[in-house]
């Protein structure tokens, strides 16, 4: 019996693992059995920003409930589309469920786009499904790495590209909040490769040892030490979404904050505090990776931009196992695993849920 993992949209800690009716494709549709997916703090951000950015619209659920999107791999189990074969495997955006019904369009060897009506107005980057195969960048034995890191590291890559594209807004120091998160240390990895800026990590006191051990940051401070930041021109990339930390940093650095870029909400429970628009320094804004991706695709061409992402991703994959251990858990345990990630899983864990 297929199942859906549902969350209360007003309280992400309230969850249900519910039975669902088997999906049956109509003409032109395909059913994918979700084989496995990654679960990270990034997925919690999708839930926190579900109504703001529209993440709940990808996989509709009953009133008041939501299906948090994840990055995973699915296998076609039923097809009424002439160009999609049963047994084909695709990487992309899935719900935390057993199955997904899609309407493939623009089908090519590389993959397809889901043209389901309820996704038509959503960012196209989230509607793409990539064929899992070595010819398309999915090397055998690296499926878990692709699911766990590819979407996060793509954001890291695009953030690095965005900052460099804007000459770091005149800043010589980049401060990363939630420095232990995979997106943050992926960005630190890219910034260290690029050189030319000082990279400072902010993290919880309990994670300072892990972050220092990465060897990617020039300085690591706990959130209690925000006021120890040097008062120099700074770009702040906020993965945590903690309003109190944001306020303290802006008041401490003042006009030295030349860029304040919100990316995630790993501190989803700490969203109350001073309105960002009233803070000194650069006005905090939310970073939306697809905007930069579209811009750079137009400037560089899709092939060159993908070549750059691919090269950087391979380098990151080659390094990351020294820092993080990947573990697999069955879908039957998804409520427990989700609760652990929601509460803040250890940064040296990489969680994969298998169907």
> Over its length of 355 residues, how does the chain's per-residue pLDDT go in tens digits?
899 999 999 999 999 999 999 999 999 999 999 999 999 888 888 888 788 778 999 999 999 999 999 999 999 999 999 999 999 999 999 999 999 999 999 999 999 999 999 999 888 889 999 999 988 888 888 999 999 999 889 999 999 999 999 999 999 999 999 999 999 999 999 999 999 999 999 999 999 999 999 999 999 999 999 999 999 999 999 987 888 999 999 999 999 999 999 986 544 444 555 667 789 999 999 898 888 998 999 999 988 998 999 899 999 999 999 999 999 999 999 999 999 999 888 899 999 999 8
**Closest to 3 (Cα-Cα) out of 103, 100, 118:** 100
Strands 234-238 and 173-177: parallel
**C-alpha to C-alpha distance for 253 and 280, rounded to whole angstroms:** 8
**Closest to 280 (Cα-Cα) out of 322, 249, 304, 306:** 249
**C-alpha to C-alpha distance for 234 and 200, rounded to whole angstroms:** 10
Query: Which two structure tokens, joined as six digits, stand for 114?
Result: 């889901």
**Range(s) within the chain of domains with CATH label 3.90.180.10:** 3-140+324-354
What integer pLDDT is reported at residue 272 of this predicted model? 54
3-140+324-354 sits in which CATH class?
Answer: alpha beta
Strands (E), 152-211: 173-177, 198-203
DSSP H helical segments within 35-107, as ranges? 41-48, 50-53
C-alpha 123: how far from chain center: 14
**C-alpha to C-alpha distance for 260 and 281, rounded to whole angstroms:** 8
What integer pLDDT is reported at residue 50 of this predicted model? 80
Pair 116, 294: CB distance under 8 Å: no
**Range(s) within the chain of domains with CATH label 3.40.50.720:** 152-290
**Closest to 94 (Cα-Cα) out of 121, 62, 126, 142:** 126
Strands (E), 228-267: 234-238, 257-262
CATH number for the domain running over 152-290: 3.40.50.720
**C-alpha to C-alpha distance for 6 and 244, rounded to whole angstroms:** 30
C-alpha 340: how far from chain center: 17
SS3 319: helix
What integer pLDDT is reported at residue 317 of this predicted model? 93
Strands 111-114 and 104-108: antiparallel
């Amino acid at each position: 019996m297929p199942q859906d993992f549902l969350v209360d949209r007003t309280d992400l800690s309230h969850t249900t693992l519910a039975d669902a009716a088997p999906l049956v494709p109509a003409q032109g549709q395909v059913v994918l059995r979700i084989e496995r997916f990654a679960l990270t703090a990034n997925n919690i951000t999708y839930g926190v920003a579900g109504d703001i950015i529209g993440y709940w619209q990808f996989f509709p659920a009953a009133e008041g409930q939501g299906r948090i999107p994840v990055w995973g791999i699915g296998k076609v189990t039923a097809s009424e589309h002439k160009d999609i074969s049963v047994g084909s495997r695709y990487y992309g955006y899935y719900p935390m469920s057993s199955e997904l019904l899609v309407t493939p369009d623009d089908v090519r060897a590389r993959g397809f786009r889901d043209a389901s009506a309820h996704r038509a107005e959503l960012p196209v980057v989230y509607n793409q499904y990539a064929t899992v195969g070595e010819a398309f960048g999915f090397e055998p034995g690296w499926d878990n790495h692709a699911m766990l890191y590819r979407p996060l590291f793509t954001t890291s890559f695009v953030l690095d590209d965005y900052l460099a594209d804007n000459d770091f807004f005149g800043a010589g120091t980049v401060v990363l909040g939630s420095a232990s998160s995979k997106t943050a240390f992926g960005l630190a990895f890219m910034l260290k490769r690029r050189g030319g800026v000082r990279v400072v990590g902010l993290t919880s006191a309990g994670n300072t040892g892990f972050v220092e051990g990465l060897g990617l940051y020039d300085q690591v401070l706990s959130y209690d030490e925000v006021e120890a930041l040097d008062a120099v021109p700074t770009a702040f990339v906020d993965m945590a979404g903690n309003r109190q930390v944001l306020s303290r940093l802006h008041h401490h650095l003042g006009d030295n904050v030349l860029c304040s870029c919100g990316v995630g909400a790993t501190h989803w429970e700490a969203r109350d505090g001073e309105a960002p628009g009233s803070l000194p320094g650069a006005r905090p804004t939310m970073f939306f990776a697809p905007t930069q991706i579209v811009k750079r695709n137009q400037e560089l061409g899709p092939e060159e931009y993908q070549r750059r992402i691919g090269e950087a991703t391979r380098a990151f994959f080659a390094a990351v196992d020294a820092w993080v251990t990947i573990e697999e858990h069955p879908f039957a345990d998804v409520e427990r695993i989700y609760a652990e990630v929601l509460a803040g899983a250890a940064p040296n864990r990489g969680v994969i849920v298998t169907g």
